[in-house]
Structure 1
């Protein structure tokens, strides 16, 4: 993917001369603006200089919304088929688009081990899809109210570079869009495969809470600590 074909993004830097980056993917029907306000709520230490990148998913027809065009990382064929029948082609296309953004950050001087992939719902599925298969070690993956979209192919496609990658998974117990069981099943699958999963449950629906944002901020600070000890 050439520079001219990169996804459009919103960038927000915390601190001077960032040495770490977070690429954060929104959910179905939203756009990159969705999580921009969260940055100031994370409570990151002042000494950490971080570039936050919020890409806009492409516009595409979404089956569950009668083919209505909206921003989506891949098509959703039905809420009852989230863990079974998925738009594999769309998922892999979005994976390549995020890999291109990672490469751009590396060209800007951000080491892959200082880059975190984060996402909510569909965006979280793409964060997991990309990060677990990426050929260079990343700092971590944050998946919020999400699931493993192509779980069956992960054992054969997972890259050794990220076998030990720290993973933050958070899910609402009252989630009526991505069932809590879908998130819990994904956590169990990842754990069975030997991944380091930090699992968080929250009394909420398909959203994020201040408690979750605080937990994410603490986790992010540890992952991108300047001393590289985490």
Structure 2
């Protein structure tokens, strides 16, 4: 990922050197600015955390604006898995560089994603970043097999009325992650379409607080 893809950052709310890092991964057709507004609220739960919302490396090929982690022109599971695999190496290297620059261990890093960003959070967090503290996956899907635990604590949140990514995708992810022996919690929000509601935001704050609130 190039420097111009780094995206907006916020925090730490407490000031001083960051004691944790939270990476926010946007969905297709958006960019890092789409999720950085979550930082001030979540920063109250983890005041020592720096939040960074990188821009995905590719222009969106489904719209004349926004970015994408990989193309969704072909939505067959095998194509999505290949796209997530191809994009995960550079994303992991970028996150790893950020946490090294901050002097943090992987146990002080959480990766959150929405929609395609949730796919990337799961792909990177379950495979390359096995030592990360937490993965927060909103309105996404699992693009890869799940290695057996241990691994990061996982939070899955999905709207029951999502017409973009069916909630069944997150139910399948939940079953696979549970079967692998990882710690996972899930919430399926009635009446919610493809988005994040206040309850989901609160659940995210609690997950980050559990994983990152303690000083290293």
Q: 1:198 offset after TM fit, Å?
A: 0.6
CA distances 1:2-29 after superposition (whole Å, capped 9, x unpaired) = xx56832211112222110001100110
**In the comparison of the two structures, how many residue pairs are matched?**
212
Q: 1:102 offset after TM fit, Å?
A: 2.2
Q: Runs of 5+ in structure 2 lacking a partner?
A: none
CA distances 1:161-206 after superposition (whole Å, capped 9, x unpaired) = x623210000000000000111111111111111111111112000
- The question of 1:138 aligning with 2:136 is answered no
1:184 — aligned with what? 171
Aligned Cα RMSD in Å?
2.3
1:86 — aligned with what? 79
2:56 — aligned with what? 57
Query: Runs of at least 4 residues of structure 1 off by over 4 A?
Result: 67-70
3-state SS in 2 of match to 1:213: helix
Distance (whole Å) between structure 2 residues aligned to residue 89 and residue 182 of structure 1: 17
1:220 — aligned with what? 208
1:112 — aligned with what? 106
- The question of 1:10 aligning with 2:3 is answered no
2:33 — aligned with what? 33
Distance (whole Å) between structure 1 residues aligned to residue 164 and residue 130 of structure 2: 32
Q: 1:61 offset after TM fit, Å?
A: 5.2
Alignment check: 8 A CA contact 1:31 1:71 kept: yes
70, 73, 89: which is aligned to 2:69?
73
CA distances 1:114-153 after superposition (whole Å, capped 9, x unpaired) = 00011000000000000111255111101000110123xx
What TM-score comes out, normalization by structure 1 length? 0.83
Shift of the 227–71 alpha-carbon distance from structure 1 to 2, 3 Å rule, reads closer
CA distances 1:40-75 after superposition (whole Å, capped 9, x unpaired) = 2336247x311001000123453xx3x857411111
